[in-house]
Chains A and B, each alone.
Chain A
Amino acid sequence: MNKLQWWLLTCFGAFLLACSKSEKIKEQVVAFAGFQQPAGFPSPAYKFANNKVTREGFELGRKLFYEPRFSRNNTISCGSCHLQTSAFTHHGHDISHGIDDRLGSRNSPPIMNLAWNTTFMWDGGVFDLDLQPVAPITNFVEMDETVGNVLAKLRNTPPYPALFKKAFGSDNITTADMMKALSQFMVMLVSDQSKYDSVMRKQGVSFTPDEQQGYAIFQQKCSTCHQEPLFTDQSFRNNGITPGPNNDEGRYPITLNPADKYKFKVPSLRNLAYTAPYMHDGRFYTLQGVLTHYNSEVTEMPTLDPLLKANGKPGISLTTNEQQQLLAFLNTLNDQHFIKDERFSQEAIQ
């Protein structure tokens, strides 16, 4: 425990004594640490000043995240397509099945380290986490519900009014309180305890020779877009996968800028072992498939990322051996602790 945390504890202690509250509350306050800035991570993009994470807000957000009343017929929750065991994506599904088993058109992205995201969704059409849930709630193939109806259902479902009162001071459930609670849960989903993180923090762990070699290749050939330590630079790029049958133009419909055609958000490389399949439409079922793409299947297109045509021929050349070493390194980005953290699990709901 560092100096800051001791100082926090002392202050809370003094405050509690002054208010003469019970021991029970003191324990709870001390036990809930709120959002913790991971060592070595940049400053979060999320505006915590507008939504301080509290124990009550976080727990309410977790309950809401697993609440099927968000969908028209009370069958689909956020957790339906964002499973903790899959780093909060939908493992094994190229695209997800939502309400009435309707199919979407894009791969469900993992919910992790969202506090650092500057935009959301594969096309960046959402720029505020506090308003992101409106999209899946109202989407015809996901939850097919209205925000107004969700609020009405929650108002009529104990113990929600009481939980909102505890978290936000009023049992009149508003759009803002519901969204802020969901955000509190989502920003807490921090993945920063992979082997890579332990190595970087010099916690007595080191890379194997293959991982070390793979890390060198990664830094040389991948790290511009998949920038450490979040393993994304948050940009939108065309990585040369050919347009699929639905000709998804990616970011273009958001900006209407022809230069954005077929560009998608650079995804993080953390937790790849749990988040297959890969790409915006989940077309690659294995990481080997992804590496084969970069090595030999990158398609020349007008908006193909310049970094992928640096050597005359489109793509990133990788020998078989280099690919194996790269895969070894990518494996060090898997965070077992994250996918097993009890604080985030549905079972934690009381």
Chain B
Amino acid sequence: MYNIKHSLLTAAVATCFLAACKKDNAVTPAGDNTVKSTLSIQFDNIVGDRNLQLNTGVYTNAVGEKFTIERLKYYITNIRVKKSNGEEFVVPKDSSYFLVSEAEAASQFVKVKVPEGEYAAVSFILGVDSLSSVMDVRKRTGVLDPSGGMDGGMYWEWNMGYIFFKMEGTSDVAPADPSGRHNFRYHIGGFGGYSAPTINNIKTINIDLTAGGMAKVRQGREANVHLMVDILKMFNGATNVSIAAHPTVMFGDFSTSIANNYTKMFYHDHTEN
């Protein structure tokens, strides 16, 4: 141990001196030389066959409960694109975190830089991958910075982890809180656990673009893959979610049923090239 410390110190001191002498001769690291252009992926939130309107739209789920939505946010991360020849490009991790919010129009266009070419498929994680869920606070910047407030925040501080998907609203079938409001709250997360295994709601979504239109990424243009996100599918699916029976779902076993439902929300409508 002593020897290791000793050599580390020597190295550290040597580095100090060297750093002082070093001139500006840094070489740009040789990277991927492919020309990259912007690909836009649009997340257009809808409810069945109707556009989602926060606060005012009234919708009905499969068990016949009427509800309105006041807040909808979810993480889209770890984006990959694939050409028809199978060639895949993985967007660098640090440029691949987005928080889509129904209240912020700009957030619904996820823009990434990918090599020019024609893409037949895109994939992404709905949520935050497990490595990013445990990484150093210094790397948690932008939408992963836990300094977003509790109310709009997408982070559980008491059971560390990101909230992948948050939807809140009102429904007469939800029990009244002390202020008389009938709120429902779905906060879905769970990256599998740090020191003990627990629920994992990280979902990878694969979207085929061949039927709706391949994305042609080239300079000077911004191809836009227009996805529909039918949030009614969060309620209606393998498990039909009843607001009366489950007005609040956060970190608990039932959240996996909701997560399994909401993986089916996404479909490709068309591409604007």
Q: Which residues of A contact B (CB under 8 A)?
A: 3-4, 7-8, 11, 14-15, 18-19, 47, 50, 118-119, 121, 124-128, 130-131, 134-135, 137-139, 146-149, 151, 174-176, 179-180, 253-257, 260
Known contacts A4-B6, A125-B160, A254-B159; A131/B196 CB under 8 A: no
Contacting A at CB under 8 A, from B135-151, are 136-138, 140-141, 145-150
Contacting A at CB under 8 A, from B115-168, are 134, 136-138, 140-141, 145-150, 153, 155, 157-160
Closest to B150 in A: A138
Interface flag for B13 (CB, 8 Å): yes
Q: How far is the CA of A4 from the CA of B196 in the complex (A)?
A: 39
Task: Decide if A134 touches B157 in the complex (CB within 8 Å).
Answer: yes
Q: Which residues of chain B are within 8 angstroms of A174 by Cβ–Cβ distance?
A: 141, 145
Please, could you name 27 A-B residue pairs with CB atoms under 8 Å apart, sorted by A? A11-B13, A15-B13, A50-B138, A126-B160, A127-B134, A127-B194, A128-B134, A128-B136, A131-B146, A131-B157, A135-B157, A135-B158, A138-B150, A138-B153, A138-B157, A139-B157, A148-B147, A149-B149, A174-B141, A175-B137, A253-B159, A256-B198, A256-B199, A256-B252, A257-B196, A257-B198, A260-B196
Closest to B12 in A: A11
B240 to chain A, nearest CB (A): 23
B242 to chain A, nearest CB (A): 21
Q: How far is the CA of A7 from the CA of B199 in the complex (A)?
A: 50
Interface residues of chain B: helix, strand, loop or mixed (majority): loop
With most chain B CB atoms within 10 A of its CB, the pick from A4, A15, A175, A256 is A256
Q: How far is the CA of A50 from the CA of B17 in the complex (A)?
A: 22
Task: Decide if A179 touches B137 in the complex (CB within 8 Å).
Answer: yes
Closest to A133 in B: B157
Q: Which residues of chain A are within 8 angstroms of B252 by Cβ–Cβ distance?
A: 256
Task: Decide if B147 touches A151 in the complex (CB within 8 Å).
Answer: yes
Contacting A at CB under 8 A, from B13-40, are 13, 16-17, 20
Task: Decide if A175 touches B146 in the complex (CB within 8 Å).
Answer: yes
Q: Which residues of chain A are within 8 angstroms of B147 by Cβ–Cβ distance?
A: 146-148, 151, 175
Closest to B13 in A: A11
A331 to chain B, nearest CB (A): 33
Closest to A136 in B: B157
Closest to A150 in B: B147
Instruction: List the 3 closest A-B pairs by CB distance, nearest first.
Output: A146-B149, A147-B147, A134-B157
Task: Decide if A131 touches B137 in the complex (CB within 8 Å).
Answer: yes
Q: How far is the CA of A47 from the CA of B138 in the complex (A)?
A: 13
Q: Which residues of chain B are within 8 angstroms of A121 by Cβ–Cβ distance?
A: 158
Known contacts A4-B2, A125-B160, A148-B148; A180/B195 CB under 8 A: no
Task: Decide if A7 touches B9 in the complex (CB within 8 Å).
Answer: yes
Q: Which residues of chain B are within 8 angstroms of A257 by Cβ–Cβ distance?
A: 196, 198
A121 to chain B, nearest CB (A): 8
Task: Decide if B137 touches A176 in the complex (CB within 8 Å).
Answer: yes
Task: Decide if B5 touches A119 in the complex (CB within 8 Å).
Answer: no
Inter-chain pairs besides A4-B2, A19-B20, 15 sampled, C-beta below 8 Å: A7-B9, A14-B13, A15-B16, A50-B136, A125-B160, A127-B134, A127-B160, A131-B146, A135-B157, A146-B150, A147-B149, A148-B147, A176-B141, A255-B197, A255-B198
Closest to A152 in B: B147
Q: How far is the CA of A130 from the CA of B160 in the complex (A)?
A: 11
Q: How far is the CA of A21 from the CA of B28 in the complex (A)?
A: 33
Q: How far is the CA of A148 from the CA of B155 in the complex (A)?
A: 13
Task: Decide if A176 touches B138 in the complex (CB within 8 Å).
Answer: yes
Task: Decide if B196 touches A255 in the complex (CB within 8 Å).
Answer: yes
